[in-house]
Amino acid sequence: MKGIVFNVFEEVVSNALGPWAWDDLLTNADVGGAYTSLGSYPDEEFQALVASAATTLERSPREALRWFGRQAMPILARQYPGFFTEHSSAHSFILNVNGIIHPEVRKLYPGAKCPHFDFRKSEVGSLLLGYRSQRRMCDLAHGFINGAADFYRESVAVDHLTCMHSGDEKCLIEVTWRS
Amino acid sequence: MALVKVQQHAPSTDQGELDPHLRVGKLERRLQRERSARMEAEAIAERGLRELYENQQKLMLLGAIATKANKGATVDDTLRFAVIEICKHTNWPIGIVYRPSIEGPQRLVSWSIWHATDTVPLRNFIEVSLAREFSPGVGLPGRVLESGLATWIPDVTIDANFPRRAEAKACGLRAAFAFPVLIGDEVAAVIEFYSFEARDPDPSRLAFMLQIGTQLGRVMERKRADDRLRYDASHDPLTGLPNRQLLLDRLDRAVADHKGARYNYSILFVDLDRFKLVNDSLGHAAGDSFLKEIGARLTATLTQAGASGLGVLTLARLGGDEFAVLIERIPRPQAAFDLAEQLHESLRHPLLLEGQEVCATASIGIASGEAGYATAADVMRDADLAMYRAKSQGRARTEVYDSSMHRLAANQLKLESDLRRAWRDKEFILHYQPIVAIDGAEIVGFEALLRWRRSPTELVPPSQFIENIEETGLIVFVGAWVLQEARIRSPSMSTYRRASSSSPTSSMWCVTA
C-alpha cells in the first residue's frame, strides 16, 4: 500500500477525532507509523489501522473503510484538483478511474497496484462496477463513490450485488443516482 | 510569524526552562511545522517524479516514432503508428490525419489514416471527418492549416468554428487539439485528437505535439527526397516521360505476365523521321522544344486511348528521337496497330518552331507478346527491326514485326561484313563506259561503274550492295579509290565526280574533259 493512503487516512482521522487520535491508532495497531507519500508499506499495517479506527468509531472494519473513503475525497480533491475539475459529475469522474486517474496514480507512484474496474450500464439505468482484487477493498471503492457524489453534490445509493466478502468470485457494485 | 510572537512573549525561568503547558504547545507547533515541511517535501518529490515520468514518456514516444521511421516504415505506417501512440500517451480516444488536397494545397482532405480506441460509438464522427474537406481557417484542421500552429479547443460542442459540432456532440466528444506536420513552412499534414472531456488548453502538450509534428515532417521530407531520386532515375528530364530503364522494367513485368499465360502485350517503337534535320537547321534548343511537343502530343493520344480501355500504357523516351509505347494487358493484337495509326495522326499537324512550321512524322515498329519472347531485350530488338523496316519502306508508316525481318536483318549483317572483307581484299573493280558527244564524233569522257567480284565466277551488281557501303561509311574509301583509279587511267581528263550527288545510291562516277 502506498504511503499516500496512510497519510490521507491520518488526515481523515485527525480531522474527525482530534490531533492525538492518529497516535492512539498507531499505538493500538502496533505499527511503525513513519509513512511518506512516495513509500510503500505492508497492506497489513493499513488493515490494522482500519481495524483500530473501527474500534474507536464503534463500527465494523468494513464500515470504517467506507467512512475513510468518503471522508478522503475532499482531501484528494484539494491535493489533486485536476482530476476533479475535469469532470462535471460523479458519473463521469467514476468512469474515468481506469482511464485517467489510475494511470496518473501510476505516474506519481511507480509500482502502485491500482485495481481495474469494469463498467456497464444496467437495464434500469444504474451503473454497475465489477471489482476483483486480492485486497478485497470493495468498501473503500464504495466510500470513494459516496465521496465523489458528495463532491459533485449528487445523491447516490451504493449496493453490493455480489461481494468477495460473501464468497463471490468478484464484487459487483451498483450505483443508482437519486434525482 | 505567530510562532515567533509566542516565543517572544513566553515567560521563562532563570534557567531558560518553559512552563510545561507552554512546552507542550511549543512541541505541538514544532510537530505541525515538521509535518508541513514533510508534506511540502513530498509534494516537491511528487512533482519531480511526475515531470520525470512525463519527460520519460515523451522521450519514449519520440524515440518510438523515430525508430519506426528508421526501420523503413512507409510514411503512412509511421503516421498511423504516431496516431495510435499519441492516443495511448494522452489517453484520448480518437485521432485523425488530414493531408492537403492534390488539386490545390489550399484545402485539407482525409489521409484515410485514423485511430479510435472504440470505433462503434465514434463511427458517425469518423465517417463525417473522412468525407469532409477543410478550407484554411475552417474547423480545427483548417485553423492549423492556416496558422501552422498547434491548436487547442477546450470544448468543441460550444466552439463557434467547428463544423462537425453536431456529430461530435452526438458521440460525446469535447476537447480537441491538432498539430501540423511541417516540412519547413509547408503544412504537409494535420493530425487532430479528441477527448470525451472538456479540457483547458495545455501549452506544454501542444509544444510537445509540435515537436512530434516536426519529427514526422522530417520523415515525410526524407520520403519526398527519396521519391524525387527514384523519379529522376526513371524519367527523362527533358520530356518528363519514363526513361528506357523504367520501360524495360515494365516490359520485364509484361514478359513475365505473358509467360504466366495471363496477359498479352505489345510494344511500339516510335522513331521520328529526319529529327537530325530539325536539330541541324534550327539548333538544339529548337530540337528540345520539338521533342517536348512530340512527347506532349503522344501523351495526349495515349491518355485518350487509355481512357477507352486500351490496357496499361507506358510512353517512354528511349533517348534522342526515339520513343516507345508499351501496352500491357492489351485487349486484342490489332489494338497496337490502331494505336500506331492514332500516333501518326497526332503528328499530322505541323509544329511551330522558331516561327517556322515544321512537319513531324514517325516510323513505328511493333512487336507483340504472341511471339513468345523470353526476355525484354528480345522484344526490344524485334520492335527495333520492325521500326527500321518502316523507315526503309518510306518512313511515316507502321510495320509489325514478323520473323522474315529477322532473317533480313541477319542477311544485312552478313553482307556488311562481306563488304568490309571485299574492300580489304580489293574485290571491287571498275567497268568503264565511254561518254560520246551528242554528234557522235568524239569521246568526251567516260563513266566508271563500280562492281564487286565476289568470286572468280560471281560479279555482284551495285544495286545489291551500294546502299550498304553507304550506310557503313565504306563509300568514303571506295569513292576515293574510284577517283584515284580513274585519274590513273585517264590523266588527260579534268573533272572527276560522282555521277549524282543527290542520289545517295549512285554507283557511277563520271570522268570528263
Within 10 Å of residue B361's Cβ, how many Cβ atoms? 14
Within 10 Å of residue B379's Cβ, how many Cβ atoms? 26
A99 interaction partners in chain B (CB closer than 8 Å): 91
As a whole number of angstroms, the distance between CA B202 and CA B58 comes to: 15
Tens of pLDDT, residues B325-384: 999 998 887 889 999 999 999 998 888 888 888 888 999 999 998 888 899 999 999 999
Tell me how far CA of residue B242 lies from CA of B4, B99, B224, B305, B415, in angstroms: 89, 27, 18, 18, 36
Chain B nearest-CA residue for A79: B43
Within 10 Å of residue B46's Cβ, how many Cβ atoms? 18
B45 interaction partners in chain A (CB closer than 8 Å): 37-38
Q: Decide: helix, strand or coil at residue A65.
A: helix
As a whole number of angstroms, the distance between CA B34 and CA B57 comes to: 34
Does the active-site annotation cover B321?
yes
As a whole number of angstroms, the distance between CA B281 and CA B275 comes to: 10
Q: CB distance A19–B28 less than 8 Å?
A: yes
Tens of pLDDT, residues B124-155: 999 999 999 999 999 999 999 999 999 999 99
Q: Number of A to B CB contacts under 8 A, please give it.
A: 33
Asked if the C-beta of B49 comes within 8 angstroms of chain A's C-beta atoms, the answer is yes
**Mind telling me how many Å the CA of A107 is from chain B's nearest CA?**
6
A9-13, B155-159, B438-442: which has the minimum mean pLDDT? B438-442
Chain A nearest-CA residue for B57: A107
B13-17, B155-159, B263-267, B365-369: which has the minimum mean pLDDT? B13-17
pLDDT at B181: 96
Of B45, B53, B199, the CB nearest to A38: B45
Tens of pLDDT, residues B281-297: 888 888 999 999 999 99
**Mind telling me how many Å the CA of B264 is from chain A's nearest CA?**
59
Q: Is the dihedral of CA B7, B10, B14, B15 positive or negative?
A: negative
* Amino acid, single-letter form, for residue B152: W
Asked if the C-beta of B293 comes within 8 angstroms of chain A's C-beta atoms, the answer is no
Q: What is the mean pLDDT of chain A?
A: 90
Chain B nearest-CA residue for A36: B42
pLDDT at B5: 46
**Mind telling me how many Å the CA of A84 is from chain B's nearest CA?**
12
- Does the pLDDT at position B503 exceed 90? no
Asked if the C-beta of B35 comes within 8 angstroms of chain A's C-beta atoms, the answer is no
As a whole number of angstroms, the distance between CA A158 and CA A90 comes to: 13
pLDDT at B314: 94
Q: Above pLDDT 70, what percent of chain B?
A: 92
User: Residues B271-278: what's their mean pLDDT?
Assistant: 87
Phi/psi region, residue A167 (left: phi>0; alpha: psi -120 to 50; beta: rest), is: left
Of B46, B91, B197, the CB nearest to A103: B91
C-alpha cell at B55: 519527460
Q: CB distance B54–A19 less than 8 Å?
A: no
Alpha helices in B308-451 (DSSP H): 334-346, 376-392, 403-424
Q: What is the mean pLDDT of chain B?
A: 87
Task: Give the model's confidence band at B403: pLDDT under 50 very low, under 70 low, under 90 confident, else very high.
Answer: confident
Of A37, A88, A96, the CB nearest to B46: A37
As a whole number of angstroms, the distance between CA B489 and CA B442 comes to: 18
C-alpha cell at B408: 533480313
Cβ pair B243, B232 in contact under 8 A? no
Tell me how far CA of residue A77 lies from CA of A38, A70, B46, in angstroms: 18, 12, 16
As a whole number of angstroms, the distance between CA B198 and CA B156 comes to: 8
Q: CB distance A92–B54 less than 8 Å?
A: no
- Does the pLDDT at position B490 exceed 80? no
Cβ pair A16, A22 in contact under 8 A? no
User: Residues B65-69: what's their mean pLDDT?
Assistant: 89
User: Residues B202-228: what's their mean pLDDT?
Assistant: 93
Asked if the C-beta of B91 comes within 8 angstroms of chain A's C-beta atoms, the answer is yes
pLDDT at B382: 92
Task: Give the model's confidence band at B118: pLDDT under 50 very low, under 70 low, under 90 confident, else very high.
Answer: confident
C-alpha cell at B118: 472504440
As a whole number of angstroms, the distance between CA B406 and CA B479 comes to: 31
Chain B nearest-CA residue for A20: B28
User: Residues A147-167: what's their mean pLDDT?
Assistant: 95
B197 interaction partners in chain A (CB closer than 8 Å): 86-87, 92, 96
- Does the pLDDT at position A87 exceed 70? yes
User: Residues A10-22: what's their mean pLDDT?
Assistant: 92
Closest CA to A175 of A129, A143, A131, A110: A129
As a whole number of angstroms, the distance between CA B52 and CA B46 comes to: 10
Tell me how far CA of residue B486 lies from CA of B325, B423, B426, B445, B480, in angstroms: 51, 17, 16, 11, 10
Of A7, A92, A108, the CB nearest to B50: A108
Q: CB distance A87–B197 less than 8 Å?
A: yes
- Does the pLDDT at position B494 exceed 80? no
* Amino acid, single-letter form, for residue B156: V
Task: Give the model's confidence band at B3: pLDDT under 50 very low, under 70 low, under 90 confident, else very high.
Answer: very low
Tell me how far CA of residue A50 lies from CA of A36, B104, B237, in angstroms: 18, 68, 82
